[in-house]
Structure 1
Amino acid sequence: MTLANRPTILTGDRTTGPLHLGHYIGSLRARVQLQHEARQFLLLADTQALTDNVGRHQKVTENVIEVALDYLAVGIDPAKSTILIQSQVPELAELSQYLLNLVTVARLERNPTIKDEIRLRGFERDIPAGFLTYPVSQAADITAFQATHVPVGDDQLPMIEQTNELVRRFNNIVDRQVLVECEAVLSPVTRLPGIDGKAKMSKSLGNAITLGATADEITRAVNNMYTDPKHLRVSDPGQVEGNVVFAFLDAFEPDAAQVDELKAQYRRGGLGDSVVKRVLNERLQSLLEPIRARRREYEDDRAEVLAILRSGTARAREVAGATLSEVKRALGLTYFEA
């Protein structure tokens, strides 16, 4: 595949906390591979994080470095992937402003992802305007870099749909192909449950295992995982469906035959939760120990991490600036051009 034919990838994370295993299985693992196959932009979405963190801005900005450390620790190579800070690319905010004119409040309120997030946060009708327009901001991020593919979880598919709606509407209005539609790239495991089994994994819900978790923290989390409450004795048949330990084994154990054998034994009876948890703990320890070690190396040189972010953001501004210039030219906002 030539450089010109490589797809362009845009992905990122809100900087509200360190990344966890849900992020890893949902997209981080794929991003490490994609950087060898595509032109990839990784966005640290601090501006979007501020939309529902009023008064907690310090946490948002501090976590820019934490998320960057997680990127580098899992194997993102800044020579192959462009890591940028959203708030430091003003072109994104300007493009958002133009796209906001192409969507109604009613359409934003119908977005299933936004509806779920509003309900989760208990906003009811007291919705911050910035949060309601989150899909437009995300569309600006995607289109500014002419992204053709966006790795997402299945809960983000409505955001991709809305992005493409805005792309088509803009191109139709200006009667030329300026912005590019994108395609969602789904992970085989699109959502990882929290260790409590009650919701998707989330740092804010306290049911996550972070990528920087210590060996002891991993063990405690695995031991506290929700299994089958009716599986009281080793000899009892157990239920695999809804059992968080098996959900994690499906996601992280590459030996599918071993997992299938454990499931069959668990369903028959004769396999205790402690044994299955021990298998999972060993797998997670093996996965996270090298990530944790690389993270410590980068933590010792935060100046280098900032230099990586500064360089990536500068490259991103060049690309976003070129797209914005085309958008403004299409809209006739070129008063001083010769």
Structure 2
Amino acid sequence: MADELELLRHANPVPVDGPHFGDGPLDHHAERHLDRLLRERPTISAPSPPRRRTRLAWGLAATAVVAALALALLFTGQTTAPAVAAPRPLLVQADSTPVPLRTLAERAGAAAADGAPKLRKGTHVQTWSMGMSDDKPPITLPEERIVRWHADDSHTEIVVATDPRHPGRPVLGGDGELVADGHVLSRQTYPPSWSDAPPQSPPPTDLGRLRAYLQEAEYSRTALNTGELLHAVATLLDTWTLGARESAALAQLLADTEGLRPAGQVTDRLGRRGQAYVYDGTGSRQMLIMDPATGDVLGLETTFTEAEPEYGVKAGDVMSYSAWMR
């Protein structure tokens, strides 16, 4: 198992074998592991466009995946199945009581009274992203990404192929090949950036300014609909780890958004319990998972509500899922 994955897991406030409700600030032990991981910085490379969503380029890569699976099982005698299956949609607990978004926003405001934790640039996120083609079945790529900014305004991004639901099993890498759990897909340090355009600039806590900020982050000249707003929230959380006040402002903005209905309690793919809020769009459903006490956004899942036979997609398949951590 790669050393980088071990360091990431030691730094993770929600390890696979740890207790639930561990989604809090990193302790000194975790920070020490992160510092060790990020101090080994490679030569600064030229900046590249920000990663939005993992998308698979098919072609020979898909054939290589099938061949790699067959060879691995045939010649190595491997008995542990690779973790290549797409995740099933999260299920709302049947007997749970939905919490209205306004109630959750009030809780978030109360939790933010002391202003802690603080806003921090950078992110730690686990994603599952589906890749599709015209002539091959869709596959899902599980990745963990951590981005940390440094004092000189440069930042380091590490992307690892791993599926926390199946620790230790081989997974599909970024090019569709079968790799070991913890395989480092990329590790780059980017030079300083002083952009003041969203989402690089700090998000405001004023609701009107926050709404305009998210609209600008989506490069839209018109007000965002609910689906676009949720995408903008994902863009924000892929750049920033929100502080208590920013989370409270975002919760209030979401409470004022039409079409987000409370669904009840869910346990996400990192074992955290949250409240689910669902938006039904055209051909897809988005489920936002939020911490019921602090209003933090824990995750966002998008599922197909209509089949797309030409791509091998069935209604209910998970298109993408992101789980953000502190």
Q: What's the TM-score once normalised by structure 2's chain length? A: 0.24
Higher strand share: 2
TM-score of the superposed pair, with normalisation by structure 1: 0.24
Larger Rg: 1
